[in-house]
Structure 1
Amino acid sequence: MSTQNKKRRSRFNPASEDFHKEDFPFYWLARVHGRYSMAMERLLKKVDLDIPRWRVLNILYEHGESSISEISIHAIAKLSTITKIVYRMKEDGLVETAQSATDGRVTQVTITDKGRQAFIDMHKVTDSLFHDSFRGLTEAQIRKLNQILAKIFDNLPES
C-alpha cells in the first residue's frame, strides 16, 4: 500500500493521530445496532417477544428445523445462551425439541404452530421499522451494503 493510501486510511484507524470517531465505520455500526435494538425491543414487547426469540423464530421459519448449534451460529450467540433461550421458548410452546435421529448428542429444534403465529405477529409489528430504516435507499444500495458488511464479517476473526 502506498504512503498516500496509508495516510488516507489513517483517519479510520483509532490508533491514528488523524482519527475522528465519526470516520470510524464501527462507530456507526454500533450506533445503528444500538438504535435498531432499542426500537426492536420496544416493538417486540407488544407481542410478548424479545430480540433473542425473534432471531430463533426467524432462523427456524427459514430453515424449518435446526440444531441448537446451527441456531447459535446463525444468531451469533453462545451455545449455552441459545440453549437457554430455546428451552424457555419450548416452555412457552413456540418450539419443540427432539434428539437427532442420526446423532443422539444433537438437539433438533422445530417451530410449532404457536411459534409460526408469533413469527407472523412479530413481523406485523416490526415491518414498518424495516421500511423506515432503509427509506431513501435503493435496492442496489441495500445489496451493496450487505456485500460490504459480509466482507467485513469475513475479515474478522471467529473468536
Structure 2
Amino acid sequence: MSVLKILRWPDPVLQQVCTPVCDVAAVDALIGDMFDTMYAAPGRGLAAPQVGKLLRLFVMDVGWKEGTRTPMVCINPEVVDACETVVTREEGCLSIPGVMADVTRPDAVTLAYTDAAGRQRETRLTGFAAACAQHELDHLDGIVTFDRVDADQRAALEAAYGMPA
C-alpha cells in the first residue's frame, strides 16, 4: 500500500459529484491506499475525491487516535435516516489544512453502504462518527466545509486559509 497525495482546496476535483462504484473488487487497492493516507495525514476520514478519484467511496476510523482502530469502508453510501436533533461541532478537513469550522449536522444518521467485501450494510452512527460520515459523504457530492457555513464565516475561514477575498 502507499500514501497518496491529498488534494487541497480549491482544486476543482473537490467540487465535483462522484460516480458510483460498479466493481467493488476494482477499488480494493485504492481502499488500502486511502487508509494508509488517512492514518499518515493523520485524519479520521478520507473520501476518494480527496485523492483525485471521482468515486463514491470513503474510509473512516473515528477511534484510532484514542487507541482503538475502528476502520470503516463506505462504498456508494447514502443517509437513509437522520435524527431531528442537530449539533454544532468543530470540523477540520485534510483538504483544507489548518482550518476549523463550526458545522451543524444531525447528531445521528443511518448510513446505507456497501462494505469492502461487497456486502450491503446499514449502520446507525451517532455523535462524532455521524458527523465524520456526513463530512465524508459531502465530499462525494462536491461539498466542502466552506459550503456548510454562513457567508461571513466562510469569508473569515477562506481568509485564514489564505484565499483572496
TM-score, structure 2 normalization:
0.23
Which structure has greater helix proportion? 1
The structure with the larger Rg is 1
Q: Point out which structure has higher relative CO (alpha carbons under 8 A, 6+ apart).
A: 2
